DNA sequence: CAGATTGTTATCCATATGGCTAAGTAATCA
DNA sequence: TGATTACTTAGCCATATGGATAACAATCTG
């Protein structure tokens, strides 16, 4: 379960893969089209797609000789959830800290 | 700039490091306390802290022989920003798709 | 059918990652 | 001062990662 967060975050930890995701937000695309603009050989590029797929961030379907790649919405939500949950926690802390700071500033410093 | 997203996401792609972050949302802690409960040698654990620190997710300060570790709020916001931005984009797409699906369902199927 | 497209599989390689032990330094305590 | 505590540094090791080439397979297209 939680293990999946590993795959999701590590899938996102690469600019090639983030670029693929960005491209896919404009709609599904065949592998060869996604490959354009990425300066690497096709098999290398396919490994990236493989990671995105096994992290559940995309799914693919082959028709004829063309494989079309689609974005998957659900898993990113898990990453967002983790981040926002913890961000909330520690920004809460920071808020309390700055409240404390303000409080201290309002104290008569030493005059 | 954007390069930092690599470091942030890959720092988050490990359960030990996420656990450290979770712990730190309850407040700063010395290295040795953070180390408790992680079944690995101190030098291994320090590598994790090193990654968190070079990703900017934590900062540390040494007083005497104790190094205290603090959470850093800003960088996580960058990760959240990337995710929510793209989530919005593709959930938007999914919305349009389901709207289309609904629309098609309302059409007389084949007549 | 011949040839071009579009992947796919199999290997290989260099570097990064995540773990270890051993040994060293720098405070603090008895 | 000697021992203990709390890291720190320096290697070493196995596996994962991100890249490559070469060769194969399965569609289309003419």
- B8: nearest Cα among B87, B106, B75, B81: B75
Give the C-alpha separation, B42 to A72, whole Å.
39
Segment A96-105 mean pLDDT: 42
| Å from the A67 CA to the D28 C1' | 14
B-chain CB neighbours of A84 within 8 Å are: 80
Give the C-alpha separation, A62 to A68, whole Å.
6
CATH class assigned to A3-72: mainly alpha
Segment A71-85 mean pLDDT: 80
Q: Give A85's pLDDT tier (boundaries 50, 70, 90).
A: confident
Most confidently predicted of A60-69, B79-88, B94-103: A60-69
Segment A13-38 mean pLDDT: 95
Give the DSSP per-residue string, A30-99: EHHHHHTT--S-HHHHHHHHHHHHHTTSEEEEEETTEEEEEE-SHHHHHHHHHHHHHHHHHHHHHHHHHH
The answer to whether the beta carbon of residue B3 comes closer than 7 angstroms to any atom of strand C is no
- A84: nearest Cα among B77, B5, B70, B22: B77
Q: Give A90's pLDDT tier (boundaries 50, 70, 90).
A: low
Q: Tell me the nt nearest to A44, Cα to C1'.
A: D19
CB contact under 8 A, B80 and A82: no
pLDDT-above-90 percentage for chain B? 58
Q: Give B85's pLDDT tier (boundaries 50, 70, 90).
A: confident
Please say whether the dihedral angle defined by the alpha carbons of residues A13, A14, A20 and A22, taken in this order, is positive or negative.
positive
Task: Considering only the beta carbons, identify the residue of B10, B77, B82 that sits closest to A10.
Answer: B10
How many residues can be counted in chain B? 111
Give the C-alpha separation, B13 to B4, whole Å.
14
The answer to whether the beta carbon of residue A63 comes closer than 7 angstroms to any atom of strand C is no
């Amino acid at each position: 379960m939680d293990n999946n967060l590993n795959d999701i975050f590590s899938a996102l930890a690469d600019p090639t893969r983030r670029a693929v995701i960005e491209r896919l937000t404009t709609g599904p695309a065949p592998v060869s089209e996604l490959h354009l603009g990425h300066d690497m050989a096709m098999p290398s590029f396919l490994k990236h797609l493989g990671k995105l797929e096994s992290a559940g961030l995309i799914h693919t379907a082959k028709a004829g000789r063309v494989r079309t790649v689609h974005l998957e919405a659900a898993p990113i939500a898990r990453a967002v959830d983790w981040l926002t949950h913890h961000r909330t926690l520690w920004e809460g802390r920071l808020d309390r800290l700055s409240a404390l700071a303000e409080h201290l500033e309002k104290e008569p410093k030493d005059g």
